[in-house]
Amino acid sequence: MKTLILNIDRDNDYGMKAGITGPVIGYNNCYRAATALITKDPEDSDSNALFGALKHYQELKDKGENVEIALITGDSDVGEKSDEILSLQLDEVLNMEHYDDLILISDGAEDDYITPIIASRIKIRYVKHIIVRHNENIESTYYYIVKAFKDKKVSRKFTVPVGLLLLSYGIALLIFTVYSMIISRSYVIIPSSGAIMLVTIVIGSYFILKDADIRPKIVTVLSALKEYSEETKISMLSYVVSFFIIIIGIAYTYEQTLKTVPL
C-alpha cells in the first residue's frame, strides 16, 4: 500500500515568485522548491505548508509507511484556469505510479476548493492544515489589516467592489447634477455635493485601477491612440475638443427640445 502526500499551490506562488512549475515529485525536489520560495518570500504560507508536508512525510516514513510526496501548482488566475491546470498535473502524478490513497497537506487558504477534484480521482485518507503561528507582539488588528491590503489576492476582493460602488455613486451623482442644472437652468453646483461627487469618483477610480489590473490596459490604449495620432497627424487635443463639442451639442439640443415640446 502506497500513499501520496500532496501539497497544492492553487495560485501559483511557486511559479510567480520562485520560477518553479509543477508537478514537483520526491522529497529532495520538494525540499528545494520550498527552500526557493521561502528564500524569495519568507512570509508566504505556501512554503510553510510544503515544509509541513515534508515533515509529515518523514514522520510516516519513520513509522514504516510507504509514502511519496508531490507538489502541484495552479495559476495566478484562481478559478477555472488554475483548477484545470491542477487537474492535469494531478493526473500526471497519478499516472506515473499507483497510489492507494492520498493525504492532502494544505495551508487552508484556497487549496481546499480542489478537494472534490482530488476525491474524484483517488481516495483521500485525510486533510491536514498547516497553520503558521505568529509572534504575539505583532498580532494586532492593524497589522493584519495592513498585511491583507498588501496581498493583492486579498485586497482585490475588498477594494474592487468598494471601488465600483463609489465610482457608480459618483457617476450617478454627476449625471443627476447635470440633469438638474439643465432642467432648472441654474449652472451652480452646491459645494458639498460637488465635493462628495469628486471624492467618490477619485477614490472609486483609484481602488479599481489599483487592484483590477485595468491600468496596463489603459496604458496600452493610450499608447495605441498616441501612435495613431502621430501616424495621421492628429493631435490628442482634437479628440478632447471634439468630445466637449459633442457634449455641448447634446446639452444644447436637449434644452431647445424642452423649450419647444410642452411637458
CA distances, 98 to each of 14, 66, 72, 105 (Å): 26, 12, 17, 19
- Among 90, 116, 64, 98, which Cα is nearest to 8's? 90
Write the pLDDT tens digit of every residue in 106-132.
887 566 678 889 999 999 999 988 876
C-alpha cell of residue 197: 461627487
pTM: 0.57
What pLDDT, on the 0 to 100 scale, is given for residue 154? Answer: 61
Write the pLDDT tens digit of every residue in 145-178.
555 565 666 666 777 788 888 888 888 888 887 7
Write the pLDDT tens digit of every residue in 11-34.
899 999 999 998 999 999 999 999
> What CA–CA distance (Å, rounded) separates 143 from 131?
18
- Maximum Cα interatomic distance, the chain, rounded to a whole number of Å: 93
pLDDT at 84 over 80: yes
For the chain, give the percent of residues with pLDDT over 70: 72
Q: What angle is formed at CA 193 by the lines to CA 192 and CA 195, rounded to 5 degrees?
A: 65
